[in-house]
Amino acid sequence: MTAISGNGGAMTKIADSIERYIKRQSVSFLILAILAGLLMILVGVLLRPVSPMTYEIVLPFGSSILGVAIGMAFGSLFDATHLHQIKTLLHNTLQSSIYSADDVLDFYRRPMHHYFRTVTDGVAVWRYRVYNFDLIETPGKLTCAISVDRPSGQGTVVYRIEGFVSAQRLILVQRASAGAEPPIVQVFPHGGDQFRTKFAGTSLLKSWDGDDLIVPSLLSQTPLTSVPVPVGSVPEAENARLYGEWQKNFGRIVVDLGPESRVP
Cα–Cα distances in angstroms (integers) from residue 41 to residues 62, 95, 119, 144, 147, in the given order:
5, 28, 37, 18, 20
pLDDT category of residue 258 using cuts at 50, 70 and 90: low
User: Which of 222, 214, 232, 114 has the alpha carbon at shortest distance from 163?
Assistant: 114
Within 10 A of 217 (CB to CB), how many other CB atoms are there? Answer: 26
pTM > 0.95: no
Which DSSP category does 49 fall into?
T
**pLDDT > 50? residue 195:** yes
pLDDT reported for residue 198: 95
- Per-residue burial over 62-83, b if 16 or more Cβ lie within 10 Å, else e, is beebbebbeebbebeeeeeeeb
pLDDT reported for residue 81: 53
Whether residue 228 contacts residue 215, with contact meaning beta carbons closer than 8 Å, is answered with: no
- Decide which of 180 and 11 is more confident: 180
**Rounded mean pLDDT, 18-27:** 56
d(CA 197, CA 176): 28
d(CA 65, CA 77): 19
User: Which of 205, 212, 196 has the alpha carbon at shortest distance from 250?
Assistant: 196
For 159-193, the pLDDT digits (tens) are: 999 999 988 899 999 998 877 889 999 999 999 99
> 3-state DSSP: the chain helix, strand, coil percent, rounded to 5?
40, 30, 30
d(CA 27, CA 81): 21
For 87-113, the pLDDT digits (tens) are: 554 444 444 446 788 888 999 999 999
- The most confident of the ranges 43-47, 118-122, 203-207 is 203-207
User: Which of 216, 234, 217, 214 has the alpha carbon at shortest distance from 225?
Assistant: 234
**pLDDT > 80? residue 218:** yes
Within 10 A of 40 (CB to CB), how many other CB atoms are there? Answer: 19
pLDDT reported for residue 2: 45
Which DSSP category does 6 fall into?
T
The region, left, alpha or beta by phi > 0 then psi within -120 to 50, assigned to residue 247 is alpha
DSSP structure string for 105-170 = HGGG-SEEEEEEEEEETTEEEEEEEEEETTS-EETTEEEEEEEEEPGGG--EEEEEEEEEEETTEE
- Decide which of 209 and 6 is more confident: 209
**pLDDT > 80? residue 3:** no
**pLDDT > 80? residue 242:** yes
d(CA 264, CA 260): 13
Residues 6+ apart with CB under 8 A from 146: 53, 129, 130, 131, 158, 159, 161
Whether residue 256 contacts residue 262, with contact meaning beta carbons closer than 8 Å, is answered with: no
Q: What angle do CA 148, 171, 41 make, to 5 degrees?
A: 55
